[in-house]
Copies of this chain bind each other. A is one copy, B any other.
Amino acid sequence: MGERAFQDQGSVNHCHGCGADNERGLQIKSFWDGDEAVATWKAEPHHCGGSKEIVNGGIIATLIDCHSLNLAIAHAYRMEGRSIGSAPRIGYVTGNLNVSYLKPTPMDQPVELRARIAKIEGRKTWVTCTLSAGGQICATGDVLGIRVERD
């Protein structure tokens, strides 16, 4: 992987899920792995769900959403041959997020997110993403990202 995370290159700044400058956010860090994006993230105790042993479903949705949109952003810069974060800035917002929870996601180990581009049509990019723990897929997500202008 080697390179700095997309977020540390300025893909997104403020976002609760992935903004590098959001001190109270989840601060996920996404990296290239070939054409896919990968991220590793570890829950803190207050990120639990109805049971203290499993990760909250909303946190899982947030991780999948942000990691997937970061891939959409990084891919768009790559297609234009530009550095992530360079002007004019590329942004994506979520149009639809669909998450299936296959098994409980444990709190006591890191999760791995792995996303890939499924389809691109104009301003719309569809990304599929898995969230795994201990090598087992706990949740899958499909995210529709829509390109927008950023300041």
A interface residues with partner B (beta carbon < 8 Å): 12-17, 19, 22-26, 46-52, 56-59, 61-63, 65-66, 91-101, 104, 150
- Please pick, from B47, B50, B93, the residue contacting A50 in the complex, using a CB distance under 8 A: B93
Q: Closest CB-CB distance, A128 to chain B, in whole Å? A: 14
A59 touches B16 (CB 8 A): yes
Residues of B within 8 A of A15 (CB): 48-50, 56
Residues of B within 8 A of A19 (CB): 50
Considering the chains assembled together, what is the distance between the CA atoms of A17 and B59 in angstroms? Answer: 9
State the oligomeric state as a number of copies.
2
Considering the chains assembled together, what is the distance between the CA atoms of A47 and B61 in angstroms? Answer: 14
Nearest to A73 among chain B residues (CB) is B50
Residues of B within 8 A of A13 (CB): 50
Q: Closest CB-CB distance, A126 to chain B, in whole Å? A: 14
Q: Closest CB-CB distance, A23 to chain B, in whole Å? A: 7
Considering the chains assembled together, what is the distance between the CA atoms of A64 and B123 in angstroms? Answer: 26
Nearest to A56 among chain B residues (CB) is B16
Residues of B within 8 A of A95 (CB): 100-101
Residues of B within 8 A of A52 (CB): 14
A93 touches B16 (CB 8 A): no
